[in-house]
Chain A
Amino acid sequence: MAAPQIRELPSAEGLTSEDAAASSPMAKVWRAMWGNKTAFVGLVVLVVLIVLSVFAPLIAPYPINQQVGQPFTPPSVHHLLGLDDAGYDVFSLLLYGLRISLLVGFSATIIASALGTLIGIIAGYRGGIIDNLLMRLTDYFLVIPLLPLMIVVADLWGATLFHIIAVIGLLSWTMTAIVIRAQVRSLREYMFIRRARATGASHTRIIIQHILPQVMPLVVANTVLNISYAVFTETALAFLGIGDPSQVSLGTMIEFGFQRGAITDGAWWAIVPPGLLVTVIVLACSLIGRGIETTFNPRLNLAHLSMRRARLIPRPPASQNSRAGGANGTSA
């Protein structure tokens, strides 16, 4: 065991066992999302996009595998976003593209987050030489430029949808692992973990029962940020010609716009919407992720930081409840 430094956590961070029983960290995540205006906006946007993509076949006004008019027809009442270079309806393509992009984003993120959390927990909990080895590995992956690496792997492996998901997922776990490890390392020394260990709980049980719930908010924040990264990377790979040719994604739509003269023809409607949609996805995810992070880092919310109102504003009364709950009033 590492140096037995016993610390009791300040309850403001909600990490003592009593506090955990009162309101689990995940419950706080939900409350944070409802309470934090920006996080809430992000959540709503993301949910709307998911619904749109799930019901794409019902919503899309035209089939996406046949020409429905003159190529590069500008937007009109019949075609909300006009037609692309092959005379396909851009709005319908957009819905189906959103589907694939979100599919890639979510699947790759599940892989990345699971891998990152696993590595982070093992490294942080075991410590010692395993920690050393895993963190060395993480350091390497942190430095090696990921996009070129993904290009190489995906190009050599063959650019099918599954391979692209796997490549993005298997290579973007580093940040999650680092963040989780740091959290687990400090958790390990806390009272309630030590108590659990003293009562004879197995390592697996401690990890699943006590550590995992406490790191969950961080995992969620990182997962949401990872989604945006994965969606982003999918468009980049597709733009470089590494995309599944049988699937329309937001990335391939941008690529087609570029390759097939939408720019030179001034057909902005074929190329503006997919990029804008990617921006919206990424923005929504970062709003959610940042909202959760702010909730768990209350230092960012002190009102007296304002330079314009440089006079001192008294801190809220330091009773335990108001401090623990203070995070929820962030946007107020």
Chain B
Amino acid sequence: MRSKGDYILRRIASAVGTLFVAVSMNFLLFRILPGSAAVSMAHVPGAGPGLREALTREFGLNHPLYVQYVLYLWQLVHLNLAVSFYYHQPVLGLLISDLGNTIPLVVLGTVFSVVFGVLTGIVGAWLRGSALEHLSVVPALAFYATPVQWLGLMLILLFGSVLPTSGRSDPFLFNPSFAQESLSVLNHLILPSLTLGLVLYGQYTLIVRSAMLETLCEDYVLTAKAVGYSKPRILRVYALRNGILPVISVIALSAGFVVGGAILVETVFNYPGVGLAVYNAILNRDYPMLQGAFLILTVSVVLCNLVADLIYFRLDPRIS
């Protein structure tokens, strides 16, 4: 089918376009804004003249802006994101190991929020019009309105005595076996991912609920009622499928929000992911690190959006 290929191509083109804009912005922000570290790109504190010279050459810092831009893109293609001022190591390597910590956190938080959000959304639609409806909608709204970092701190206040609140795993485990180490890592993931999940789930509740309510006033649902199908069956067969569909696009749309949340959660729980790298980069005035982290986060969000678009396309035959 031509239209199908067209759609996919258009989505990919748009994703590439967004990436290009993000990369250009990433370049411009750090070179143009007052107080930026454009010139100090090569002035890695404590670096030897060799490294400085190499960086100046690689990023063309003594050339006009457009040459720098081309060189920046060129270095990017070769995955060169410059050297961290603070760690004196290539930014990319640092960020990749951080990303390895962030992904489980974000995935766990998202899975929790989607499952919990869809369930409470169904309950909310089911109980529409009764007093119990508020049990689904009010907490959803309240958690949605809570500042992420503050919710994390509240969870620390409440559960800090039972669960680990800082770091990726227990640094004092003596010669841990693989099972011990994994258990410790999982333990350290509970509170951060719970925080992320709790602030995210509200929107899914509301979306699922209203999508199901919309579906429930379609004529075919009325017909199904008239035919005499049971309520659970109507919900499951007619409403749920349509109610869950928008969840996928909301997952994609909220990817940016998730990233923002991850930065705050990782800061609160001192969890060594990309978000904490952003925070430390701000603290240490480590511009290459900040620039690299922003790039990695943007690329991840754009890719998530692309994937969600393609999944949505497969699931919803109405799109062409």
Question: A residues within 8 Å of B by Cβ?
Answer: 136, 139-140, 142-149, 151-153, 155-158, 228, 232, 235-236, 239-242, 254, 257-258, 263, 266, 268, 271-272, 274-275, 278-280, 282-283, 286-287, 299-300, 302-310, 312
Contact = CB atoms under 8 A, between A and B. Distances in A.
B264 interface: yes
Contacts of B33: 153, 156-157
B147 A145 contact: no
A156 B234 CA distance: 55
B260 A147 contact: yes
A235 B150 contact: yes
A156 to B, nearest CB: 4
A275 B147 contact: yes
Interface residues of B, number: 66
Interface in B193-218: 210, 213-214, 216-217
B232 to A, nearest CB: 9
B145 A145 contact: no
Contacts of B256: 143-147
A145 B149 contact: no
27 contacts: A140-B22, A142-B253, A145-B298, A147-B256, A148-B293, A149-B25, A149-B294, A153-B29, A157-B33, A158-B34, A158-B35, A235-B150, A236-B149, A239-B264, A239-B267, A240-B267, A254-B153, A258-B149, A268-B157, A275-B153, A279-B150, A286-B141, A287-B141, A306-B129, A307-B216, A312-B222, A312-B225
B160 A263 contact: yes
Nearest to B268: A258
Contacts of A139: 14, 18
A299 B18 contact: no
B69 to A, nearest CB: 17
Nearest to B274: A148
A307 B301 contact: no
User: Which of B17, B22, B147, B263 has the most C-beta atoms of chain A within 10 angstroms of its own C-beta?
Assistant: B147
Nearest to A280: B145
Secondary structure call for the A interface:
helix
B150 A308 contact: no
A241 B279 contact: yes
A303 to B, nearest CB: 7
B186 interface: no
State the main secondary structure of chain B at its contact with A.
helix
B297 interface: yes
A305 B216 contact: yes
Given A151-B263, A254-B147, 16 more contacts: A139-B18, A140-B21, A148-B297, A149-B294, A151-B282, A152-B294, A157-B34, A158-B34, A239-B264, A239-B267, A274-B150, A279-B145, A279-B147, A300-B210, A307-B235, A308-B129
A50 to B, nearest CB: 18
B191 interface: no
B217 A156 contact: no
Interface stretch (B51-59, B83-91, B120-128, B176-184): B120-128
A248 to B, nearest CB: 16
Given A144-B22, A156-B29, A258-B268, A271 B129 contact: no
Contact of B213 (A236, A239, A283, A305): A305
A263 B154 CA distance: 9
A158 B297 CA distance: 22
Contacts of B130: 306, 308
B213 A152 contact: no
Interface in B105-156: 125-130, 141-142, 144-151, 153-154, 156
A283 B140 CA distance: 11
B16 to A, nearest CB: 12
B305 interface: yes
Contact of B149 (A239, A242, A309): A239
Given A152-B294, A157-B35, A303-B129, A263 B157 contact: yes
Contacts of B34: 156-158
A152 B297 contact: no
B217 A143 contact: no
A271 B152 CA distance: 12
Contacts of A157: 33-35
A155 B149 contact: no
B264 A278 contact: no
Contact of B264 (A236, A271, A304, A305): A236
A302 B217 contact: yes
B282 A286 contact: no
B29 A152 contact: yes
Contact of B129 (A144, A275, A305): A305
B302 interface: yes
B255 interface: yes
Listed residue (A145, A147, A235, A304) with the most chain B CB atoms within 10 angstroms of its CB: A145
